Chains A and B, each alone.
Chain A
Amino acid sequence: MNRTPSLVVALLVAPLALVLLWAFHEALTQPSGARLADLAETSLSRTGVGNPVTAVLLSYRGYDTMLELGVLLAALLGIWSLGRVSPGFHPPELALTAMVAWVVPLLILTAGYLLWAGAERPGGAFQGGALLGAAGVILRLTGERRLGLPSERAQRRLAIAGIGAFLAVGLGTAAAGLGFLAYPESWSKWLILLIETATTLAVGMTLAAAYPGGPPGPAGNERDAP
């Protein structure tokens, strides 16, 4: 790192930050004008869920969320295609192993709760998936080489579960003449729950599998030699 350029860059970045601060302050003090929030609020009863964030993710902007799951899948495929990596961590201590035996089931339980609660309260597929991914990472840190993930075949299926559920529901509604991802009102809640369940599993599996890097290994639940 060179001293002079870093100072010059700091002198260039500081005014930019000040301009951004001023713009942000202006945006906050001006009247807000038309907001998407009002639209989201008034149509909420037609989506079958009570949490506006879930409604935005799975109903109003379902197409967007589907493509984001595509980004996740692309990232995972990239990681899998970069070849094997050597494991790089220490064997765990006894206290960590004992704690993980408690924490991982709790994480899975909480992920399930968040998935269900997402319909009416804060929570949802991405939060639940993040917890599942965290459970995998913790398992890996205690030397579980496969992070509690299923077989390679099942991993490949899970990786496409989220975008697959979106596409299946979308094509189904399109075939029924409603348009892509336009849920019929009476089914909306259950279709959203179906997509969210698949998304939770896909997100959790993708995040966990991305952590060690490299393609899924052969079956078996071996631990690293201490």
Chain B
Amino acid sequence: MSKKFDFAKAYQRLEELTKQFESGELSLEEGLKRFEEGLALASECRQYLAQVENKIVEIKKKFNVKE
């Protein structure tokens, strides 16, 4: 799974795109472009959501915090 994929960002962008579509102010050409982007994002988001594992990292050096 791609580590770089920022789900929150992708989701936010998806919301933005949906809003643009709902506004009804898109031209056909703009619409097509955003539609492709939106569907790609949606499929990436679905893939991300299918992940099961959370990564747990324990921070050991807690008591020399001040360094």
Are chains A and B native binding partners rather than an unrelated pairing? no
